[in-house]
Structure 1
C-alpha cells in the first residue's frame, strides 16, 4: 500500500485515546427544545443557520419556532399529534420541527420525491393532523394526496422564502405561486409573533419523530425516534469524532427528512453550537460552492454523494481546504473510490455505520485515526462503537461469534429506538432479547473495529454458493469507466439464482462492452461470483438519501428492461 494512503490495516490508537472513546459519556441528554434553548442562551449572537445568503441566530430560530408552536396549539394541535413535513432541507423545516417538539407533537418527515400514492400510504399509517409542504409540491399533488387521511390542516411555504440569492441550479424554486386556500407558514408565524406556546411537559423518552425507514428491502416502517435518541446522537457524534464546539460549520448533505439529516446534522448542530448550512437538496456543484463560500469544516453523506462531489471537483476545482472531516454512511464505499476522494478533496473519508432504527451512526471512525482496511477482504472498517453503544456479531441461532467470524450485527444503546409504530410483527422480528437485529452481515477484528459485508437479504445463492453483492460491486468500481455499480440475484432455473450487475458509466469515459467488464471480473473473482450479464443504465435508481435501490434493480431485471 502506498505510504501516503489515508488508510491502514491496523488501528493506531493508544490506550488513553481508546479509553476516551469507550468511556461512558454524559452529553446532557435533553429534549430537542431544551437543546435549542441551551444553544440560544450560550451563543446568542453567532450565525447559527444559513441558507443561500440569509442567516439566522439561535434566538431567531427559537423565536420563529416558538411563534409557530403557538399557532399550531391555537389550531388544536396537542402533545402526541403528528405533523407530516414534506420539505427539502430549508430553514422552514427546522422551524416546524422545533415548533412541533415545543408542544410535544411528533413530526413525520416525508421525502419531497414521494408521489401522491406514497404520501397517502404514510399519512394513512401515521394519521397526522397537519401537512406542511412546499408550494410546488402542493401544486403538483394537491388535495388528492390527503384524501382518505386524517389531515385537517395544510400549511405551505416557498422554498426560496427564507433565502437570500438562490443559485441558478435552483432558480425554479422561486416560480411556484402559493395556493391562497391553504395557510402560509411564515404568515402563520408572523401572526403569532411574541405569543407563548402552552407549557407542555416533554420528556426525553417521548417520541419526537416517526422516522419511516427507506424501504430498501421492504415496505417502509414508522420508527419511533425519541428526543433522547436524537439528543444522544447529536451530542455523541461530534464529540466522539473530536469536533464539538461553535467554531465548526456543518453542511447538511443528507436530507433533513432522513434520519442522518435529523440526527447527525440538525441535532449535532444544536448540541455543538456550530453553524448549520442548508442547501435545499444535494447538487454537487452547488455544494462545492457552499463549502468554499461558507468555509464548511465537516459533513456526513452517502457514498453516492461523495462520488458526485469527486466528479464535479475534477471538472471544476474549488478551494475546499476548510474541510476537516467527511463522514460517510448509507452504503459501503469502495476502497479505490475513498482514495480518489482523498486525493481530489484533500480530506479522508471517516466511514461510519448506522440505520434508522439506531438513530443513524452507532459506530464511526474517529477523526484522528485513519480508516482501517481488513487485509484479507479489502473492506474498509466502519469504525468503533460510539459512546453508550454495544454491538455483537451472532450466528443464525443467536450465538455470539468470535472476532473475524461473519454474522448478523446486533446493537443496543441510547440510540436504539423503542420500536415501530403499529407493527408487532416487525417489532418481534427486529427487537429480540434486548438487542436490535439489523439484518446486516459483518464482523469485528481483534481490535474491535466493525466491518460490514452486506445485507442478509441481498445475499445471492448461485449454484449453492453464497455471493455477496458488495464484493462484486467493489471489483466493478475498480474499472475506470464505471461510475456506479450494483449487483443483484435473478432467478435461474439451473443455478437457482444468477449474478447480474448494473452499472452507469463515468462522464467522459468510453462505454465498455459487457464482455470487457465480465472479463475484468473474471480476473479478480471466483467463477461463481462473476456476473453472467451486465445492464447499462444512465443512472442507478436511488432513494431520497442516495442509497442504490437493489429491489428496483431486481424488478428491472425481472421485467427484462435492461
Structure 2
C-alpha cells in the first residue's frame, strides 16, 4: 500500500514484521536462558534476576495446574504493579491458560462481572485487595464462585525492615508493609503465595502457540457491562516485537515500570517488550513524583512509558532540579495529549522528544506511533508496523479526504480476534473494507498530508480522566443500584489537571429528597473504582428525554461545556 507516511518512515525500520509462532511466555524463557544473572525486576531495593523470575514462574505454574487450571482456562489477575503481578502473569501463560487482568481499583459489585463473564474459577491477588474479591465471589450463586484464590503480601517480594523514608513514601508504609490475614472463600480454597511457590508442583508441558488465547482484558463501551477482548499470543507478540524494533529495545534498557500493568499499554508496550529483550524493570506500585525522580536518578532509567500527567507532576516537584534525568533516552506514552509547552520544555532542557502514540485495548496498545526521527506534537503518529489505518465517514464508510475528520479504522496483526461471547458487538465493531477486516475505533480523527493522524473528536460516549477511560453507561448502571437515585446521567466536566472529570446529573426518588451530594459521592466510592466516581453531583427534577424516552445526554454535555 502506498501511504503518505511512508515518506517519513525511518529507514532503519521494516514496514512490517513476521509474527513469532511462539507463546508470550517463551520470551521470558529465552531471556532467562540468555541472561540468567541479569536484574529483571527491581522493587524497593530488592533485585530479582531473570533466573529467579523464571524459577518462580515455573513454581506458580505448577501450583495453578494442581488447582485444575488447564489449557485455555481464564485466570483473574487483580494486582497493582509488583514483582508478583509479573510472576503471576507469566505463570498463567506458562500453565497454558489466559490472563484476565483486572483494575485493582474495582470494587466488589464490579468484580462480580470479571469472575462470571470469563467463567473464572481461579484468581490471584494481593492481601489488601483479597477481601473485596472474596466479597464479590461469596455474593455469587454457588456455581459461579471462585474455587481457588492465591493471595500474596507485598512484603513477599522485598525486605520490609530495610525500608525507610528514602526508599518508600511515608504514605505507603501502612499499605505495603501490613501483613493481612487471609480471608475465607465460600466454597473454595485460599492459598498463600509463599505456600503455592513452596508446594513443589511441576508445571505442565507448555503446549500453547500463536493461535491460542493469551489475554482477555476488558474494555467498556457506550452500553452495558465491560466486554472481554480476545487477544491471541500472535496479536500480543506482534506488538511486542514491533515495539522492540521501533523503540530500539535492548538488554541494556532500564524501564521505569509505573504505568499500570493491568492496562494494555503497561502489559504490552512496557512489561512484555522489556522482558522480551532482557531489559530491567524498576517497579513502582503506583505514582509518586518524588519516588519516581529518585528511581530515575539512582537506577539510571533509560526508558519511561507514562501518561502526560505524570510528567507534568514530576516537573512540578520542588525537588525537580535535584533529579538526574540525563540517562533517559526514551520518554513517551498516550492516553491523553501532552501539552505543547511541557513537551517543549522537555526538549529544551534534556533534548528529549516526547513520543506520543495511540492504541486501544482492542489493538494491543500501539496502532499508531510517532517515529523518533520525525515526531509531531499532540499527534497520534503514523500507523504502526504491519498496520493500515484509514479515516472514513462513519455513516457511509467512504474514505475521507486529507485533513477532513472521520472515524479511524484499523487493520493489522495487533488487532484483537473479537469480543468474548459477544458476536453482536463484533458485528458492529468490524467492517469489511477494501477486502480486509478493519476494526472501528469509535474515535474521530483526521490525517494530514504527511499521513500523520490526529484526534478531532469522540464518536463514542467516553470520559478521559488522566488517561483512564470512564464509560458513562457503566457508571450509570452502578449508580442505579443506589436506593436514593431514580435516574442518573453521567457526563464529562473540564478539569484543569485531569483534563476531564466525571459529573453525575441525578434525579432523586421522592422518598430520598434529602440526600446530599456528598452522600451520593461516598456511596459511589464504596461501589466503584475511584477514577469512575463523580467529582460533582447536580440534582435536577427531570432529565431531558427524546420522543422515544431516551435520555438526551448530549444536551446535558453541551450545557456543561458551555458553562465552563
- TM-score with structure 1 length normalisation? 0.76
Instruction: Give the corresponding residue for 2:49.
Output: 57
Kindly tell me: are residues 56 and 314 of structure 1, through their superposed partners in 2, closer, same or farther at Cα, counting changes over 3 Å? closer
Q: Which runs of 5+ in 1 are unaligned?
A: 1-10, 374-379, 460-468, 478-483, 489-496, 507-540
Kindly tell me: are residues 388 and 501 of structure 1, through their superposed partners in 2, closer, same or farther at Cα, counting changes over 3 Å? same
Q: Which runs of 5+ in 2 are unaligned?
A: 185-189, 473-488, 499-523, 544-555
- Deviations 1:148-198 (Å, cap 9, x if unpaired)? 133100111012320243613421211132317521112211222xx5312
Match of 1:36 among 15, 28, 44: 28
Kindly tell me: are residues 502 and 446 of structure 1, through their superposed partners in 2, closer, same or farther at Cα, counting changes over 3 Å? closer
Instruction: Give the corresponding residue for 1:174.
Output: 177
Instruction: Give the corresponding residue for 2:459.
Output: 456
Kindly tell me: are residues 100 and 456 of structure 1, through their superposed partners in 2, closer, same or farther at Cα, counting changes over 3 Å? same
Question: Which stretch of the first structure deviates more once superposed, 213-222 or 59-68?
Answer: 213-222
Displacement of 1:547 in angstroms is 12
Instruction: Give the corresponding residue for 1:435.
Output: 438
2:199 is equivalent to residue 191 of structure 1:
yes
Match of 1:207 among 200, 208, 213: 213
State the distance in 1 between where 2:284 and 2:181 align. 22
Maintained 8 Å contact 2:391/2:408: yes
2:81 is equivalent to residue 89 of structure 1:
yes
Instruction: Give the match's secondary structure for 1:446.
Output: coil
- Deviations 1:310-340 (Å, cap 9, x if unpaired)? 2236666411111111112112233233334
Kindly tell me: are residues 28 and 204 of structure 1, through their superposed partners in 2, closer, same or farther at Cα, counting changes over 3 Å? closer
Instruction: Give the corresponding residue for 1:521.
Output: none
Alignment of 1:140-159 (within 5 A): 142-148=134-140, 149-159=144-154
State the distance in 2 between where 1:216 and 1:312 align. 37
Instruction: Give the corresponding residue for 2:102.
Output: 110
State the distance in 1 between where 2:338 and 2:236 align. 26
Maintained 8 Å contact 2:215/2:230: yes
Match of 2:357 among 347, 352, 366: 352
Instruction: Give the corresponding residue for 1:384.
Output: 382
Maintained 8 Å contact 1:231/1:271: no
Instruction: Give the corresponding residue for 1:221.
Output: 227
Displacement of 1:142 in angstroms is 3.7
Instruction: Give the corresponding residue for 1:266.
Output: 271
Instruction: Give the corresponding residue for 2:156.
Output: 161
Displacement of 1:239 in angstroms is 1.2
Kindly tell me: are residues 88 and 345 of structure 1, through their superposed partners in 2, closer, same or farther at Cα, counting changes over 3 Å? farther
- Deviations 1:97-144 (Å, cap 9, x if unpaired)? 111111211111111111110111221211111121111112455444
Displacement of 1:271 in angstroms is 1.8
2:116 is equivalent to residue 124 of structure 1:
yes
Maintained 8 Å contact 2:63/2:202: no
State the distance in 2 between where 1:217 and 1:286 align. 39
Maintained 8 Å contact 1:235/1:272: no
Kindly tell me: are residues 403 and 554 of structure 1, through their superposed partners in 2, closer, same or farther at Cα, counting changes over 3 Å? farther
State the distance in 1 between where 2:428 and 2:537 align. 25
How many residue pairs get aligned? The number is 473
Displacement of 1:90 in angstroms is 0.5
State the distance in 1 between where 2:213 and 2:182 align. 32
